[in-house]
Homo-oligomer: A and B are copies of this chain.
């Protein structure tokens, strides 16, 4: 097993997982992360307190491989597709096929792949092209032989976009793009690089880092998600204040479709050359074709990267402060605000503190509650990343502290900031651990006008509690939220939701119903259908609430134009069946 081998279904690297190292203590295996190798004695007590149910270490659900149907590629077509790549770059192995048939939604995908139940449709063949020419040949073969093609990037999608329609009768070929990860050229002088679309965030940053550069795109899935995937879902990165979201970062991209290759030859910072085919690639979710490469903005690595944190008396104070920072254009590369419960979740992940560390932590707490009068059950916290020249960062920190004071915030130091960002990369592993013990959860996000943030969060909280009670959920549900991005006209709010599935006849169905219902609550309170996760399958039903019928028809017409026989039949968003 290679060092960087991933678990075929669950989140992340195969060498990293959470496991019990005592009846009420958890440990993260491996050595990749801040938490790796550390004992976390507070997590299970926190979970018990939040859910109001005892954690049962004996309730671990064993993994059960679902039945995988035989591949549907008949001998004649199999022979054709086998000629398109050497044996080490293609597979009909059931496990490889299963791994390519889902993304990372917890209940609808991972749970069904790992704990039985199975997926509606498993791809029949996996192929890994290494060049745009091979991609074109695969697409041409698919067109000629009535085969469906599904582009596959990092496999981290969380909108069901990688789920093949259950009624797809044609053979389905998964085109795994991860070998197409070359940086084709770097133009430091003009601040851009041409990069193959299968590159992951980790690989991209390593390659650019070798020449002192960065793309600045840091989605939570950075380690695994790919450039092509970012464009397809219209991704957002935590440092977008400095580097932009994916639509700001990508100057041009190449899309191979059944009707030919869509690309722009003249690549510029900004143009006015009529309607732009490129604009439809953002959010295309695999419906139009395969993205093979993109020209992206790159930046010299900043001279200084400094973390910071702020503690607020309440979430409302924090929101008001973020709003003021936006209005006064004091915009650190990243600034994220967690509500009280999410703050306490972060605390629950702290390792056992001994000696001076324990004393220091106790002192910090005492200072906050006694000297500043904070209430530990209502306070909220903000983590900050500032980047730039030392002068720029100094000025930014000064301005930030000045404005934060108006909102009664206390500066929480760099270490708490750094820790907040590092924990981001542990969330997927924690979810998988919980799910092993029947505690099911998911995150979902939205963008919402500033004025409606608190109203919307409260409505989601109420609706979740009511629905769980009505369905007989034991204990109570967990809901925490954070503001991860801010904009002039609003912000992105990211929810984490979960409850105990124990005692429910069909916890998966309950979970999916509740999630769907909460999405409607979000829409009803001014939230968008998604800020950066996309529509895929799980939000398809809401599209008529977002776009007019003529708008949706325009999208479908664009789809038909480039792919008249629906070779790219993944059926996401407006292109669903």
Q: In the assembly, what is the distance between CA of A448 and CA of B187, in Å?
A: 14
A272 touching B531 by the CB < 8 A rule? yes
Residues of B within 8 A of A554 (CB): 262, 277, 280, 558, 561-562
State which of B269, B283, B545 has its C-beta within 8 Å of the C-beta of A488: B269
B550 touching A257 by the CB < 8 A rule? yes
- Give the number of times this chain occurs in the complex, counting copies: 2
A272 touching B551 by the CB < 8 A rule? no
B260 touching A245 by the CB < 8 A rule? no
Interface string of A215-236 (1 = CB under 8 A from B): 0000000000000000001111
State which of B192, B262, B395, B448 has its C-beta within 8 Å of the C-beta of A551: B262
Residues of B within 8 A of A265 (CB): 545-548
Chain A residues touching B, range: 35 or more
A274 touching B562 by the CB < 8 A rule? no
> Is A83 close to B, CB under 8 A?
no
Residues of B within 8 A of A450 (CB): 189-191
State which of B270, B529, B543 has its C-beta within 8 Å of the C-beta of A236: B270
Which residues, 523 to 568 on A, are CB-close (under 8 Å) to B? 523, 528-535, 539, 543, 545-558, 560-562
CB distance from A36 to the nearest CB of B (A): 31
> Is A279 close to B, CB under 8 A?
yes
Residues of B within 8 A of A259 (CB): 550, 553
CB distance from A9 to the nearest CB of B (A): 24
B560 touching A557 by the CB < 8 A rule? yes
> Is A56 close to B, CB under 8 A?
no
CB distance from A451 to the nearest CB of B (A): 5
Q: Using known A-B contacts A272-B531, A543-B274, A548-B263, determine if residue A557 contacts B558 with beta carbons closer than 8 Å.
A: yes
Residues of B within 8 A of A245 (CB): 270
Residues of B within 8 A of A270 (CB): 236, 245, 447, 485, 487, 492, 531-532
A573 touching B263 by the CB < 8 A rule? no
CB distance from A495 to the nearest CB of B (A): 15
CB distance from A416 to the nearest CB of B (A): 26
Most B CB within 10 A of own CB, among A271, A448, A558: A271
A280 touching B283 by the CB < 8 A rule? no
Most B CB within 10 A of own CB, among A245, A280, A487, A549: A280
Q: In the assembly, what is the distance between CA of A449 and CA of B492, in Å?
A: 33
> Is A388 close to B, CB under 8 A?
yes
Which residues, 271 to 289 on A, are CB-close (under 8 Å) to B? 271-277, 279-280, 282-285, 287
Which residues, 366 to 386 on A, are CB-close (under 8 Å) to B? none
> Is A572 close to B, CB under 8 A?
yes
> Is A392 close to B, CB under 8 A?
yes
B485 touching A545 by the CB < 8 A rule? no
> Is A99 close to B, CB under 8 A?
no
Q: Using known A-B contacts A190-B450, A275-B284, A530-B273, determine if residue A262 contacts B545 with beta carbons closer than 8 Å.
A: no
Interface string of A156-191 (1 = CB under 8 A from B): 000000000000000000000000000000010111
Q: Using known A-B contacts A261-B550, A264-B546, A555-B277, determine if residue A235 contacts B272 with beta carbons closer than 8 Å.
A: yes
A573 touching B275 by the CB < 8 A rule? yes
> Is A268 close to B, CB under 8 A?
yes
Residues of B within 8 A of A547 (CB): 262-265, 273, 277
CB-nearest residue of chain B relative to A243?
Answer: B488
Residues of B within 8 A of A506 (CB): none
Residues of B within 8 A of A551 (CB): 262-264, 277
State which of B189, B269, B273, B550 has its C-beta within 8 Å of the C-beta of A562: B550
Residues of B within 8 A of A264 (CB): 546-548, 551
> Is A49 close to B, CB under 8 A?
no
> Is A389 close to B, CB under 8 A?
yes
Q: In the assembly, what is the distance between CA of A280 and CA of B283, in Å?
A: 14
Known A189-B450, A272-B532; further 18 A-B contacts with Cβ < 8 A? A191-B488, A233-B272, A259-B553, A261-B550, A262-B551, A264-B546, A265-B546, A269-B491, A271-B529, A272-B283, A272-B534, A273-B535, A274-B285, A279-B279, A300-B327, A328-B389, A554-B561, A557-B557
What are 30 pairs between A and B in contact, CB < 8 Å? A190-B450, A190-B490, A191-B450, A192-B489, A245-B270, A260-B549, A262-B548, A265-B546, A266-B528, A269-B447, A269-B449, A269-B487, A269-B490, A270-B485, A270-B532, A271-B447, A271-B528, A271-B530, A272-B531, A272-B533, A273-B534, A273-B535, A274-B283, A275-B283, A275-B574, A276-B280, A276-B283, A279-B280, A328-B392, A557-B562
10 nearest interchain CB pairs?
A557-B561, A260-B550, A274-B573, A269-B487, A279-B279, A277-B551, A234-B272, A190-B449, A269-B489, A268-B528
User: Which A residues lie at the B interface, using CB under 8 A?
Assistant: 187, 189-192, 233-236, 245, 251, 257, 259-266, 268-277, 279-280, 282-285, 287, 297, 299-300, 327-329, 388-389, 392, 395, 447-451, 485, 487-492, 523, 528-535, 539, 543, 545-558, 560-562, 572-574
